[in-house]
């Protein structure tokens, strides 16, 4: 099978004016590139996790908004902006937890508002440039996060990561995995452990897939095995991404992250959150204010099995994310630097 890193996670087909993404729901069995032109299809791709990871969602949404703008058939700027705002709000409803989605969409709309005297053709050109800028900035942002994280690690370290904060979640390098890619290029010889990560198994299907495909030393483990690894001294640091950082340092990330952080504190293992500054939401005071997305029960009871593995009509609790309290976080690593407690991110 092709190396997944040979493909862009998310890109703009400028000739066809289409959003190109890897359908991540099919990995690791099949690499399928989707070309999406319809706004409903782009909304579905974000909601159904065909494209996922906070930075990649932001890039996809920005490109989706540009594509939607080109399909508005009016020469009246005021009418154009009104219709575009509705399309922006529609895209923003796809995922409530990842702040990059609303951040990217608001940034795209701001370009129009700052140039409201321009004609519709000019506004579409500005939206296209902004969407491409967001992608290029994401690549550089991830590289800088990796450099900052690498300064905290040493050769031969055992590293644990949860969910997928890799290249498949960004434009390139990933956030939590950026230091792993950079370290691999420089001969650090990291020993990497990936949690499988319920309920959608992004660690098993995506992180283990992309890192092993790059030739890294990767071991897959179930989520409830992290204490065993840490007790044996096999983990020197935990690196995770996140979807939103509250102003007090609480973070929302894939369900199970808070368990890893709690166990890491018990065994004195540094717990690092790797996050672009765009993920910091100063309008959210604490983790208690973050909306947690609930996923369908079928993802737990039958999605990964040949036969249903739970009783019919059993109630299922299936949040996509949990909140890791800031007291459990050793540092938040951004492209701008390394933040440590006490956190005040306003």
Residue spans of alpha helices (H) in the chain: 39-47, 54-70, 77-92, 99-114, 120-150, 178-185, 202, 208-213, 226-231, 257-266, 298-301
pTM, entire model: 0.89
**What CATH code is assigned to 4-142?**
1.20.120.420
- Number of Cβ atoms within 10 Å of the Cβ of 73: 8
Angle at 148 between CA 143 and CA 151, to 5 degrees: 125
249 φ/ψ angles, rounded to the nearest 5 degrees? 95, -5
What residue spans in the chain does CATH classification 1.20.120.420 cover? 4-142
What residue spans in the chain does CATH classification 3.40.50.10470 cover? 145-339
**What CATH code is assigned to 145-339?**
3.40.50.10470
Q: Can you state the angle between helices 120-150 and 99-114, rounded to 10 degrees? A: 140
Which residues sit opposite 10 in a β-bridge?
Answer: 21
pLDDT tens for residues 77-130?
Answer: 999 999 999 999 999 999 877 788 999 999 999 999 999 999 999 999 999 999
pLDDT tens for residues 138-176?
Answer: 999 999 999 999 999 999 999 999 999 999 999 889 999
CA distance 158 to 334: 21
Q: Which residues neighbour 200 within 8 Å (Cβ) at sequence distance 6 or greater?
A: 49, 295, 299, 303
Catalytic residue among 138, 157, 223, 243: 243
| 243 is known as an active-site residue | yes
pLDDT tens for residues 92-107?
Answer: 999 877 788 999 999 9
Q: Give me the mean pLDDT over the 16-26 stretch.
A: 96
Dihedral of alpha carbons 145, 148, 151, 153, sign: negative
Cβ atoms of 53 and 97 closer than 8 Å: no
Find tokens 């509705």 and name the residue: 86
């Amino acid at each position: 099978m092709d190396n997944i890193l040979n493909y862009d996670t998310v890109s703009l087909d400028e000739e066809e004016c289409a959003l190109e993404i890897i359908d991540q729901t099919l990995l690791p069995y099949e690499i399928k590139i989707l070309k999406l032109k319809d706004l409903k299809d782009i909304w579905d791709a974000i909601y159904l996790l065909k494209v996922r990871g906070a930075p990649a969602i932001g890039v996809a949404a920005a490109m989706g908004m540009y594509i939607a703008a080109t399909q508005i058939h009016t020469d009246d700027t005021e009418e154009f902006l009104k219709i575009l705002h509705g399309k922006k709000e529609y895209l923003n409803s796809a995922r409530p937890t990842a702040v990059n989605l609303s951040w990217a969409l608001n940034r795209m709309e701001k370009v129009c508002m700052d140039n409201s005297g321009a004609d519709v053709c000019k506004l579409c050109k500005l939206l296209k440039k902004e969407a491409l800028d967001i992608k290029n900035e994401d690549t550089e942002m991830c590289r800088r996060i990796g450099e900052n994280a690498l300064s905290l690690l040493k050769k031969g370290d055992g590293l644990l990561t949860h969910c997928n904060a890799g290249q498949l979640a960004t434009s390139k390098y990933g956030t939590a995995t950026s230091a792993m890619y950079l370290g691999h290029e420089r001969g650090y010889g990291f020993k990497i452990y990936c949690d499988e990560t319920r309920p959608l198994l992004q660690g098993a299907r995506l992180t283990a897939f992309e890192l092993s495909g790059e030739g890294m030393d990767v071991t897959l483990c179930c989520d409830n095995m992290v204490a065993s690894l840490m007790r044996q001294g096999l983990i020197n640091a935990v690196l995770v991404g996140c979807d939103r950082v509250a102003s007090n340092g609480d973070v929302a990330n894939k369900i199970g992250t808070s368990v890893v952080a709690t166990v890491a504190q018990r065994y004195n293992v540094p717990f690092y959150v790797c996050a672009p500054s765009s993920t910091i939401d100063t309008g959210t005071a604490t983790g208690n204010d973050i909306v947690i997305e609930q996923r369908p029960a079928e993802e737990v009871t039958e999605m990964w099995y040949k036969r249903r593995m739970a009783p019919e009509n059993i109630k299922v609790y299936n949040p996509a994310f949990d909140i890791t309290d800031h007291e459990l976080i050793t540092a938040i690593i951004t492209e701008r630097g390394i933040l440590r407690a006490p956190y005040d991110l306003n």
